[in-house]
Structure 1
Amino acid sequence: MDNVKALSEFKEYMQIEKNYSSLTVLHYTKDIESFFQFMKEQGIVNLAKAEYFDARLFVSKLFDESYKRSSISRKISSLRSFYAYLMREGKVEQNPFQMLALPKKEKRLPSFFYEVEMEKLLQSQFDDGPIGQRDQLLLELLYSTGIRISEAESLKLENIDFSVGTILVYGKGKKERYIPFGSYARDLLRIYINDGRQQLLQKGKKNHSFLFVNFRGGPLTARGMRDILNKIMDQAAMHAHIHPHMLRHTFATHMLNNGADLRSVQELLGHSNLSSTQVYTHVTKEHLRKTYQSFHPRA
């Protein structure tokens, strides 16, 4: 069986029957061609002669060449689909990639701010006007409660209970949870609600109960919040990109670093499974490891 012809027919199948995009077809083609090169190196005469052992050897070679796990997984999937097509067309009798396990994805540790970095952000200069009040509150609330940006976007005045110092948050799946806020957030909330927020509403001649308001008086969107956080980063002269989830990661990491138990942090974050929260223990361990290597004389 001619490899080039088989690939050409498969590309036609992807374009016409599967309606794949040109970019997807290109990725499939490159993945399959890399296996063709491997076959040539190994003396495998045609696609029908490749076996499970050959597929495993191909993957081992990819690991040796330092391919990312995600790239290896994609190549396996591409070749699995290619061989499934060839089997359907009666051109091969087996799919050597069918039983091949996909490599586990690399677990990336969440990025966060160290306490000194977070303090520098919180000490940024904010003007006393309504926009400055709002921006300072947004930063403080995201860090001090660990809420998601979508939860901050939907936060309303009736969700804030000053008597016990908690906010009611509607998380994923409309699940409710109460989160305490500290004295810094309490002071900023009172100032903003009684002053800055009122000014923004009057300016836009709007009337609604959303906590965060844009300069036109309407509810502040998640995109608007991201722009605000990036502006704060620029003003603090911190040359890094910030995304709202970094503040959530920072909240969890600082809680655990200062002795909070995992179950409490899980509840505050609104995680259904403890495994979602446990990633932050890896962050704290990495922090301890770096501290040890930096300061212990025999590290």
Structure 2
Amino acid sequence: MKAYVESDEIAMMGEATSNLRDKLLIRTLFHLGCRISEALTLKVEDIDFTQGTVAIIHLKARLKLSCAGCGQRLGRYHVFCPGCGSKVERAQAEQQEHRRQRVLPVDGDTLSMLKDYVRRGGPVLRDGKKLIFGINRHRAWQIIKECAQKAGLPKLVNPETGKVHNISPHKLRDAFSVNAMKRDDSGDGLRMLQEHL
């Protein structure tokens, strides 16, 4: 068993469905290396068809911990406050949502599929936004799993735990990273990959 999906296997997943939306979901996750939440919030206005780019809004929530006594910022495992020295019984938690925008190049095939999909009226209008996919996370997971099964792809094994898993949307993001490193394993390639993700 393998730990990641190869690019030819992802092509097989795309061929396993005749639904343009599903093909596009697979291509978007793999060719852009985006998170499922980022793909599902992708809007028509985020695509620049003339430049061949897509603006991905990076959404990630983080907790900021601080000492209840002095307000000093704390790490997850602090036992004593570095500011006032008191024992940390209960830290104050404040959730912060980090938003960052990445503008990513889109390969020609994916861009032409996007144009065709938009032209055919594929995007879904929801809350005044034209969403490319208009599906929820659960349905996206089902699509990826079903396409992998139809393509006859084996399940993947986690090399650290030995657990066997179905191919999921995040595994396509992992495959993007692995393929990028195979193409350029220099320090520059790694730095560019970190900026991309």
AA in 2 matched with 1:137: L
What residue is the counterpart of 2:40 in the other structure?
Answer: 153
Separation (CA, whole Å) in 1 of partners of 2:110 and 2:7: 17
Check conservation: 1:112, 1:250, Cα contact below 8 A.
Answer: yes
**CA-based RMSD:** 2.2
**Partner Cα separation in structure 2 for residue 116 and residue 144 of structure 1:** 13
Q: Which has the higher contact order (CA 8 A, sep 6+)?
A: 2
Q: What is the rounded CA distance, in whole Å, between the counterparts of 2:45 and 2:33 in structure 1?
A: 19
Residue 174 of structure 1 aligns with an amino acid whose one-letter code is R
Which one of 164, 169, 174 corresponds to residue 51 of structure 2? 164
Call closer, same or farther: CA 1:135–1:125 in 2, change over 3 Å.
Answer: closer
Aligned letter for 2:120? D
User: 2:164 aligned with 1:239, yes or no?
Assistant: no
Count of aligned positions:
145
Question: Are 2:14 and 1:122 aligned?
Answer: yes
Q: Which runs of 5+ in 2 are unaligned?
A: 61-97, 156-165
- Counterpart pick for 2:141 among 209, 213, 226: 226
- Residue 161 of structure 1, CA deviation: 0.6
Say if 1:133 and 1:196, in contact at 8 Å, map to a contact too.
Answer: no
Of 259, 264, 268, 2:196 maps to 268
Q: For residue 8 of structure 1, what is the aligned residue in structure 2?
A: none
What is aligned with 2:100? 175
TM-score normalised by L of structure 1:
0.45
> Is the contact made by 2:12 and 2:151 (CA closer than 8 Å) also made in structure 1?
yes
Q: CA deviation at 1:159?
A: 0.6
Whether the 8 Å contact between 1:229 and 1:244 is mirrored in structure 2 is: yes
Percent identical across equivalent pairs?
A: 28
- Equivalent in the alignment of 2:65: none
Cα drift, residue 239 of structure 1: 3.5
Q: Which runs of 5+ in 1 are unaligned?
A: 1-109, 127-131, 214-219, 270-299
Residue pair 2:141, 2:168 contacting (<8 A) in 1 also: yes
Summarize the alignment of residues 4-83 of structure 1 with structure 2, pairs less than 5 Å apart. Answer: none
TM-score normalised by structure 2 residue count: 0.67
- In the alignment, is residue 255 of structure 1 matched against residue 147 of structure 2? no
Task: Quote how far apart the aligned CAs of 1:122 are.
Answer: 3.1
